[in-house]
Every structure is written in structure tokens, then in C-alpha cells.
């Protein structure tokens, strides 16, 4: 079956190389790979001459990366109806593409894969990746494809959708910049348009990187995107992070308020204090 793989990246070139190594080892390979860089004028792909990679770059002067715009750009230029989005941190399992495509044929709609989280840097060897990874303890997990009724659980890490469906709901909302809310917004658009949402046991392996909890380093984006989401949907999103910011004295906010007042931004030392260098996830 022909399909387009869409990958966006900004930095993380070592993660990108491992992702592409995983693609090369896949039992079913993409017909094309739409690689979209953000502020990446060039990328070294000399080690992957056998992969059908088409590279484009989005340049921005903003500190808030246009993630939604980059994903939409990859989808727009993709030639095939089946679109698989893969986060740059994710190494596809050997049978990921074959499995998620099979599960979409059975279920239709939008099908999300299952990320397994690594706790160390590994070679791109399936047995090693399995040995050092676990599924997220607070996410759905099953050995069969299952329908997900809570659309808040949509993650863009690894999912499959038809191009026609993607653009019928206008893709990712480009109002969101930087980290946060665009995935939940996309999930809510799926629900609003009665598009079925499933999770497949098809595996990807999420490469370990330091995390911040609370994510003070994304403070500006979280506040901005939460307000955009609230104005659009009448509901708050990322409430746990907003509550953490409020308790720290960074913002004036509560769930029954209509807006967020920024009191101050996190200090450098406050950001450094919440780094978890060896964590699998937030």
C-alpha cells in the first residue's frame, strides 16, 4: 500500500537519524517521506540515499516554533492519500507501518500507534529497543486495536489519517505556536466531525531526552496556546500546568476565569531546578 510519511524537526538531528534508520529497517517502507525542517536550511541525508526523502524548510524568526504549520505543509505536498505522521523523537518498530495501515483498513478513521518510552540511548535494534522501553503508564494499552472515546487522548507522536479527512477538518490549527494545545485541538476537531478515533498496538519507540516538570521552559507557549484554545472551545486545556504556574506565582488563573494574567516569567534558575535529565516522560 502506498503512503506518505511526514516528519517535522528542529534540531534533534541525532534523533532524526535514528528515526530514518528505523524506517530503513521497516518491513513496509513509505512511498515517500516528507521531511519538514523548521529553521533548518539544510540537512545531511547522505547516509540515506535509498530513502525517498523530499525536504522542505520553514523559516521563522519567532521563538515559538510553527509546529502546526510544518505538519500541514508536509501533508499539503504529500502525494498519497494515506498520511502517517511520526514525531522526530520516535523510532518506528519494524512492523509499525504495516500494522497501523492494516488496523486502519479494519477500523477506518484516525488511528494512533502506541509509543514505548526508552530510558536510555539505544541502537536501532528491535530487541534492544523492546528491552529498554515501556508503554506510558497513564495511557490506553491493548494488544488489539481499540476505539478511543476520549478525544483528549489524541497524540500526534504517531498517527495515520487519510489526506481527504485531514483537510476536511483543516488539519492542525496554525494559530497555535510552540508547545501545547494543538494536539488536543486536533482531537476535538475529529470529535466535532464524528471521525472515529482508534489506537493500534503498532509500536514506535520514543527516544529519551531530558524533560521539564512543570515545563517552565514552555511557559510563554503554554499560556498563549491555552488562551487560544479557551477562546475557540470555551474550555481550558493544560490545566495541570496552568495550576502549577499559578501556585508558583507566575500567573493569575483559575478554571472559572476567562483569561490569564501573567505576573512574571520563570527565572533561569527555576527552569533549571525542574529538569529531569533521565525521565522517560513528563
Query: pLDDT of 81-107, one tens digit each?
Result: 999 999 999 999 999 999 999 999 877
Convert the pLDDT of each residue in 126-184 to its tens digit: 999 999 999 988 887 788 999 999 999 999 999 999 999 999 999 999 999 999 999 99
278: confidence class by pLDDT, cuts 50, 70, 90 = confident
SS3 at position 42: coil
pTM: 0.95
Query: Where in the chain is CATH 3.90.550.10?
Result: 4-206
Tell me the C-alpha distance between 84 and 93, whole Å: 14
In residues, how long is the chain?
282
pLDDT at 207: 94
pLDDT for res 146: 92
**Residues in CB range of 125: below 8 A, 6 or more apart:** none
Q: CA of 43: how far to CAs of 14, 18, 20, 57, in Å?
A: 11, 14, 13, 10
Number of H helices, E strands in the chain: 9, 14
Q: What is the predicted pLDDT for the residue at 209? A: 86
Class of domain 4-206 as given by CATH: alpha beta
pLDDT at residue 269 tops 80: yes
**Which stretches within the chain are classed as H helix?**
13-24, 67-77, 96-107, 126-131, 163-168, 182-192, 219-233, 239-247, 268-273
Alpha carbon separation from 265 to 3, 205, 214, 262, 271 (Å, rounded): 43, 34, 13, 7, 10
In the DSSP assignment, the letter for residue 250 is S
* Averaged pLDDT, 188-206: 96
For 220-256, b/e burial (b = at least 16 CB within 10 A) is: bbbbbbbbbbbeeeeebbbeebbbbbbebebbebeee
244 in Cβ contact with 213 (< 8 Å): no
Q: How far apart are CA 13 and CA 89, in angstroms?
A: 10
pLDDT at 16 over 80: yes
Over residues 63-78, the pLDDT tens digits come to 899 999 999 999 999 9
Amino acid at each position: 500500500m502506498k503512503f506518505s510519511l511526514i516528519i517535522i524537526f528542529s534540531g534533534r538531528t541525532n534523533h532524526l537519524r535514528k528515526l530514518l534508520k528505523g524506517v530503513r529497517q521497516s518491513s513496509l517502507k513509505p512511498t515517500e517521506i516528507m521531511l519538514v525542517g523548521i529553521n533548518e536550511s539544510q540537512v545531511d541525508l547522505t547516509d540515506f540515499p535509498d530513502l525517498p526523502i523530499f525536504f522542505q524548510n520553514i523559516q521563522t524568526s519567532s521563538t515559538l516554533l510553527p509546529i502546526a504549520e510544518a505538519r500541514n505543509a508536509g501533508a499539503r505536498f504529500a502525494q498519497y492519500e494515506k498520511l502517517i505522521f511520526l514525531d522526530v523523537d520516535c523510532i518506528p518498530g519494524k512492523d509499525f507501518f504495516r500494522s497501523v495501515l492494516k488496523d486502519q483498513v479494519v477500523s477506518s478513521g484516525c488511528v494512533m500507534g502506541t509509543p514505548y518510552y526508552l530510558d536510555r540511548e539505544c541502537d536501532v535494534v528491535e530487541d534492544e529497543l523492546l528491552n529498554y522501553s515501556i508503554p506510558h503508564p497513564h495511557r490506553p494499552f491493548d494488544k488489539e486495536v481499540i476505539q478511543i472515546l476520549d478525544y483528549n487522548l489524541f497524540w500526534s507522536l504517531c498517527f495515520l489519517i487519510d489526506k481527504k479527512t485531514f483537510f476536511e477538518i483543516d488539519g492542525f490549527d496554525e494559530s497555535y505556536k510552540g508547545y501545547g494545545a494543538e494536539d488536543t485541538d486536533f482531537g476535538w476537531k475529529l470529535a466535532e466531525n464524528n471521525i472515529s478515533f482508534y489506537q493500534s498496538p503498532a509500536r514506535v519507540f520514543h527516544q529519551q531526552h531530558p524533560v521539564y516538570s512543570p515545563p517552565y521552559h514552555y511557559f510563554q507557549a503554554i499560556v498563549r496556546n491555552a488562551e487560544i484554545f479557551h477562546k475557540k472551545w470555551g474550555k481550558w486545556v493544560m490545566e495541570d500546568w496552568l495550576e502549577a504556574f499559578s501556585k508558583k506565582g507566575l500567573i493569575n488563573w483559575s478554571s472559572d476565569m476567562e483569561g490569564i494574567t501573567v505576573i512574571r516569567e520563570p527565572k533561569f534558575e527555576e527552569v533549571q531546578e525542574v529538569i529531569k535529565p533521565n525521565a522517560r516522560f513528563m
